[in-house]
Amino acid sequence: MKTALCNFCLKSGILCQKCSEKIKSGELTQLDLEIARLLVSLENTYPSLQNVHFHKAVEARDTIAIIVGRGDVPRLLGHGGKIIKALGKKTGKVIRVLEHGSDERKFLEDLFAPLSIITINTIWLPDGTTETRVILKGRGDKPPFNIEDLKEIAHKVRNLTLRVEFAR
């Protein structure tokens, strides 16, 4: 695991002065620390995690989005989804994995996976703001995630206001 926190702190459960400054200044959050520690604790079981670059974790009610480096998403989703399951169990939340610095389409694809996206377009509102409309394939009766949580995450991570619709 590569993070802005040092390995000593992630493994020991104690924070050195440098890391504790990062938390105090708000550069990193308690949630970042918690998720980074969980990921490190899973490294022995899933060695592919050693190469994962962890950027940040963002929370919305029942969902946690983990933001990782370019190309790292499959490293977390691999192993038959066991890493995600383990993280979900330990946090009691639904886990989503997103790529840092991805373009908008890739961001939305990762956010709504495994559902596929039919269309993405921008809607201009009379007050000059925009909404991003995402049409997902399916009936929308039982999506494998909480849509309101994902909207909140999109807002926190990319400042996007989403409108989510379904079509077959």
Q: Which is nearer to Zn ion, 17 or 129 (CB)?
A: 17
Q: Shortest Cβ distance from residue 10 to Zn ion (Å)?
A: 8
Tell me the closest approach of the beta carbon of residue 122 to Zn ion, in angstroms.
42
Binding part of the chain for Zn ion, among 1-9, 106-114, 121-129, 136-144 by CB under 5 A, reads 1-9
Buried-exposed string 95-126: b where 16+ CB fall within 10 A, e elsewhere? bbbbbbebeeeebbbbbbbebeeeeeeeeeee
d(CA 62, CA 75): 23
Q: Give 54 or 112: the residue with its C-beta nearer to Zn ion.
A: 54
DSSP tag of 42: T
Show contacts with Zn ion in window 11-50 (CB under 5 A): 16, 19
Would you count residue 9 as binding Zn ion (CB under 5 A)?
yes
Q: What is the DSSP letter of 2?
A: B
